[in-house]
Structure 1
Amino acid sequence: MDDFTEADEYIAWATQELARNGNPKICMTESAPARKTISEYGDILESAMDEKPLQEFFTAHPEMLAHQLGPQCRWVIPKPQLGGKYEPDFMAARVNSGGLRWFGIELETPRIERLFTLKHGTESEKLREGLQQVKDWRHWIRHNMQTAQNGPHVGGVGLVGITDQFEGLVLIGRRRNATKDDQRRRQQIHWDQRTDIHSYDWITEQANGLVALSGNRQADGCYECDVYGR
């Protein structure tokens, strides 16, 4: 390609490295969640007493997480080991014009009465724990950047191009337990900590929206797959 830029070359290299590390690409146009998968997720969510069955489901169906992270192709890596000290539930990446954009995803229990305390409006214990997990991962990566970025074949984690500025996502609770003030508090945490907080119902809503769009995306094809390889 005559217009293949330096950024394109970097993304092509990163794509190859992630594949070399055993992380398959989830294509935006070919991997939209199926209606059956969304229905299965809803059943598991209704019966789940904690986050463990949801962790297992997302590991088996990474497209349910991947498509909530914005456009372009993605990678979802379950339980990467950060030096034997920390174990994120998932680290996920997607390509954009600047390279790879990384997300650290923490799963907390769907069975929580409130995200924030009623009296003081501070984070509940479980939400506070989830936010702290993301901070701990960033701290480890800040002090072990090369190890985090290197592939497993040289003793690294395989998070190609990651820095401690990755974005956080905490999944916790159900939408029916949210209060009117929660949105404002969640937005403040987003700005202060670069971490989004969503209920597990958000996953369902986003996935249902993608089903309606998947036919058009199939017809359009996938630019990232064409340019950077599948």
Structure 2
Amino acid sequence: MKIMSAAQACAELLARDPLRDFFSFWDEVNESDIDALREALDTAKREEDIQQFFQADPKYLIQHLGGGHGRWIIPKQRLGVQHVTDFMIGERDSMGFRWQAVELESPLAKMFTKSGNPSAHLTHAVRQIQDWRMWLAANQNYAAHDRDQDGLGLTDIHSDVQGLILMGRRATESDETRRLRRQMGRDAKIEIHTFDYLLEALIGRVNSLKARREMTGR
């Protein structure tokens, strides 16, 4: 009986994966990637700047995910004729697929006004995810069907898909706006984070990989 290596087994699985064009290896990151992401966030002036950075190298969007059976990154996923996500990212574990609908705003955008009200940018981002959920509620079967069956291929997706809003930087937050952000996220059932969330996840991944290599001697 022929025994396949892990790489061969992965290649065989990918060959049968209808979303193989969007599959991403999540453990091919190092210290230089930390520098690249930090520089991109520090120099971005508009939402479009960071959008283009992630589209060129989307692995930075999945370092916070934990599913051990794969990661997928779909840019500009269209939901019907009216809606387009910035990214749809997915992971798979023993329970199946889990998806996050990602809405990006500018790293310079503020989440709240001085009076503590949600900013126009944050309100817009929350509404986007709510609109996507309403569309999925009416079109869940179509969205979950395989692409070779004329669906979107978003296996196991459901109408209360987790939303992820990324905007602003942590340095501009106060304790009060951080509290407001977390409360608003709980109320809307949406993950709302500054872009430093991605940076911290990447640093954690790189450090974890480094520790693993030191333990195994590889």
Query: TM class by shorter-chain length?
Result: 0.7 to 0.9
Over the matched positions of the two proteins, sequence identity in percent amounts to 31
- How many residue pairs get aligned? The number is 204
Structure 2 contact 107–168 (Cα < 8 Å) conserved: yes
Once residues 80 and 195 of structure 1 are traced to their aligned partners in structure 2, the CA distance between those partners, rounded to angstroms, is 18
Once residues 218 and 143 of structure 1 are traced to their aligned partners in structure 2, the CA distance between those partners, rounded to angstroms, is 47
Name the residue aligned to 2:143. 148
Structure 1 contact 18–24 (Cα < 8 Å) conserved: no
Which stretches in structure 1 are left out of the alignment for 5+ residues? 1-14, 222-230
What's the TM-score once normalised by structure 2's chain length? 0.83
Structure 2 contact 50–106 (Cα < 8 Å) conserved: no
1:26 correspondence with 2:21: no
Structure 1 contact 21–158 (Cα < 8 Å) conserved: yes
1:129 correspondence with 2:124: yes
Please show how residues 162-201 of structure 1 align to structure 2 within 5 Å.
162-201=157-196
Structure 2 contact 88–102 (Cα < 8 Å) conserved: yes
Once residues 79 and 54 of structure 1 are traced to their aligned partners in structure 2, the CA distance between those partners, rounded to angstroms, is 14
Once residues 94 and 218 of structure 1 are traced to their aligned partners in structure 2, the CA distance between those partners, rounded to angstroms, is 24
Once residues 61 and 217 of structure 1 are traced to their aligned partners in structure 2, the CA distance between those partners, rounded to angstroms, is 24
1:217: how far off? Answer: 4.6
Please show how residues 44-123 of structure 1 align to structure 2 within 5 Å.
44-72=40-68, 73-112=70-109, 114-119=110-115, 121-123=116-118
What's the TM-score once normalised by structure 1's chain length? 0.79
Aligned CA distance change for structure 1 residues 91 and 43 (closer, same or farther; 3 Å): same
1:94: how far off? Answer: 1.2
Structure 1 contact 18–158 (Cα < 8 Å) conserved: no
Structure 1 contact 58–64 (Cα < 8 Å) conserved: yes
Once residues 127 and 213 of structure 2 are traced to their aligned partners in structure 1, the CA distance between those partners, rounded to angstroms, is 39
Once residues 17 and 147 of structure 1 are traced to their aligned partners in structure 2, the CA distance between those partners, rounded to angstroms, is 23
Deviations 1:107-161 (A, max 9, x none): 001112x311222x22100011111111111111110112211233333222111
Structure number with greater CO (CA < 8 Å, separation at least 6) is: 1
Deviates more, 1:76-85 or 1:149-158: 149-158
